[in-house]
Structure 1
Amino acid sequence: MALTLEEIAAHPALHRCIRVQAQAMNQTYEMNPRLASVFATQQRWLMAHIGLALHFRREPDDYRKELTAARFLDAIRQNSVASRNTADAFVKEMLHYGFIEYVPTAQDGRIRPMQPAAASLEPVTLWLMAHLQTLDGLDGANRLALFLARPDALAMLQPRIADGLLSSNPVREPKQTFSLFTWLNNGGVVMDWLISGVDPEHAGLDRIPTGVVSIGDFAKWLKLSRTHLARKLRAAEDLGSVGWLGQRGQSVMWVSRDFYGEYMAAQAVKLAIMDAAFTETFGSTAAR
């Protein structure tokens, strides 16, 4: 039986497990920042999940049900994720950088099936593995081992996760500060980096220290404009969500207890969706 949102949110090990998860996400980003940019904003993240779900649900014997630009644009419209122009630009960008590719076909020449390049699936797999490890850390189950033992696990599991994410109001309409960062390029990476430097023992403080000291170094690591990052951080400061223990930009940065709580709540929602999808796909993990 899957862990519920309430069970995850209240688990005493959640803060420790989420910090490890955030550190794993940082490592994935460092491996290939350009590829990680596919998921740079929440909108792009959801579009990528829609595209992957269409790919994994394709019917190879029916070329009309392959992943195509037309089917992708229609799915984006049905789920109200982005405008047609934004979705079309996303497809063209993915093709340009080789993250997706056209599939040769001897069928109807008017239909051009696409598929993700093999390298594009690696960060998705690592993302899934990090979250399954978090869930296992909460209840001692063996989701990650089961996932790794099944070569078809990603194809089976990802579409159900995509369905859950797209149908979740908390995912689609995040809270104030979390929303501020989800529309920033690499905003998810910004939040993961901040949280990865938080000592779980400090979670109850009003101002929780992070590992960030220099905006310039932070922006350089993120491959972001220092000015752009500073502007977003200033907006978060105006909300009382982040600040500095000393001189601005030259001392340890803190996050507010409310912002930290927003991040943890968002992770709990996502983990509950993923565990429900995992249980639906593979059955009970049992080993609790």
Structure 2
Amino acid sequence: MGNATSLSELIQEIGRSALNLEDIAAHPALHRYVQEQSQSLIRIYEETPRLASIFATQQRWLMAHVGLSMHFRRDPNDRRKELTVSRFTEVVHKNAVASRNTADAFIKEMLHYNIAEYVAGGDGRTHPLQPTAATIERFTGWVTAHLRTLDHIDGGDRLGRYLERPDMLATLQPLIADGLLASKPVREPNQTFSLFIWLNNGGIVMDWLMSGIDPDHAGQERIPTSVVSIGDFAKWLKLSRTHLGRKLRTAEELGSIGWLGQRGHSVMWVSHGFYEEYMTVQAAKLAVVDNAFKACFPPPQGGD
């Protein structure tokens, strides 16, 4: 009986332990799972490109997480904790995500495109804000995509448990935001990844490149993608062909991408190093999500 109790305690302890970056990165099928995740995020972009623009660069993506976390942590009975333009700009600046001016411009853009809206009461910079229902719905898609990937990795049931308690988003998202802001691999990625995160829709550029890779080719030094035409790629992304081409050329000079034939008119490849950079950041994000999930949905205590 003593042995049975010890085994039960061990299983519970394993259940309480969130996956870390190393656990996730070492999974042999990680690419297949992240590829599915990337395709889910690409669908969100295709369905609502304007809304998806809040994730267009890493800076905007982090500001969006900050804004959502402030919304979910608000206290309607304490005006000092409401999400306002002035509080948002201060929190963004304090966390070294962006300057106050950039944060101010971002939140005004969110209001202009009905991604965020004013709530009743207040005026000017003290007027409380909130994300629209459509924004929260689309962000939920981001959360479920990552929970599904984590379930694939260890056979868990995070997504099912979350869907039973979707109200837990209000607790889960702020913890995810905290984790992302504190994650060095997410905020200080390696050279080529950094190059793209400052490009408009840079995250989608990388998702598209990586989602078109055959997992069986992931071990090659030059990994073929599904991209052939820069022009078509830029058109789909609603980016300037010149601007995208400039970024791709810089990445090419770093040895991170190239073409199997004529530049811009043949299959594009990505280097194994660039691929590893991308997967490391994905693993880091997944680890953040899992830590947040375990804090919100702890396993039941006690055992047989």
What TM-score do you get using the length of structure 1 for normalisation? 0.96
Q: CA deviation at 1:83?
A: 0.7
Matches within 5 A, 1:112-127: 112-127=127-142
Bigger Rg over Cα: 2
Distance 1:239 1:220 in 2: 25
Alignment partner of 1:65 out of 81, 84, 98? 81
In 1, the alpha carbon distance for the partners of 2:166 and 2:61 equals 24
Moved more, 13-22 or 188-197: 13-22
Task: Provide, for residues 49-101 of structure 1, a one-character-per-residue CA deviation record: whole Å limited to 9, x for no partner.
Answer: 00000000001222332111111011012101111111111111111111111
User: 1:92 pairs with 108, 117, 122, which one?
Assistant: 108
User: Does structure 1 residue 153 correspond to structure 2 residue 168?
Assistant: yes
Q: How does 1:31-42 map to 2 (within 5 A)?
A: 31-42=47-58
- Given the alignment, which residue of 2, 9, 15 partners 2:31? 15
CA contact (8 A) 1:40 1:188 kept: yes
- The code of the aligned residue for 2:231 comes to G
Report the identity percentage. Answer: 67
**SS of alignment partner, residue 8 of structure 1:** helix
Match in the other structure for 2:178: 163
Q: What is the aligned partner in structure 2 of residue 139 from structure 1?
A: 154
Conserved? CA contact 1:141–1:285, under 8 Å: no
Which residue type is aligned with residue 87 of structure 1? A
Q: Contact 1:279–1:285 at 8 Å: present in 2 too?
A: no
Q: CA contact under 8 A between 1:143 and 1:285: conserved in structure 2? A: no
Q: 1:198 aligns with which of 213, 216, 220?
A: 213
Look up the equivalent residue of 1:6 and give its one-letter code: E
Counterparts in 2 of 1:190 and 1:109: CA distance versus 1, 3 Å = closer
Q: Helix, strand or coil: the match of 1:248?
A: coil
The answer for the alignment partner of 1:248 in structure 2 is 263
Using the alignment, how far apart are the partners of 2:245 and 2:166 within structure 1?
A: 43
Taking the aligned partners of 2:49 and 2:300, their CA distance within structure 1 comes to: 33
Q: CA offset at residue 110 of structure 1?
A: 7.5
Q: Distance in 1 between matches of 2:244 and 2:139?
A: 25
Describe the SS at the equivalent of 1:101.
strand
Post-superposition shift, 1:111?
A: 2.9
Corresponding residue SS for 1:89 = helix
1:227 pairs, out of 236, 242, 259, with 242
Using the alignment, how far apart are the partners of 1:51 and 1:240 within structure 2? 37
Secondary structure of the corresponding residue to residue 152 of structure 1: helix
CA contact (8 A) 1:2 1:276 kept: yes
Q: Does 1:276 align with 2:295?
A: no
Given that 1:5 and 1:272 are in contact with CA atoms closer than 8 Å, whether structure 2 keeps it comes out as yes
Alignment check: 8 A CA contact 2:235 2:241 kept: yes
CA contact (8 A) 1:40 1:185 kept: yes
State the one-letter code of the partner of 1:142: D
Unmatched 5+ stretches in structure 1:
none
Computed over aligned residues only, the root mean square deviation of the Cα atoms, in angstroms, reads 1.5
- In structure 2, distance between residues paired with 1:210 and 1:115: 39
SS in 1 for 2:276: helix
SS of residue matched to 2:166:
coil
Give distance in 1, aligned partners of 2:25 and 2:166.
31
Count of residues in Structure 1 that have an aligned counterpart in Structure 2: 285
What are the equivalent positions in structure 2 for 1:201-220 lying under 5 Å apart? 201-220=216-235
TM-score of the two chains, using structure 2 as the length reference: 0.91
Q: Secondary structure at the match of 1:208?
A: strand
Structure 2 equivalent of residue 185 of structure 1: 200
Aligned: 1:264 with 2:279:
yes
Indicate if the aligned counterparts of 1:142 and 1:285 stay in contact, CA closer than 8 A: no
Structure 1 match to 2:13: none
C-alpha offsets along residues 155-205 of structure 1, whole Å, 9 cap, x if unaligned? Answer: 110000000000111111110000000000000000000000001110110
Q: Which runs of 5+ in 2 are unaligned?
A: 1-16
- Which range moved further: 121-130 or 225-234? 121-130
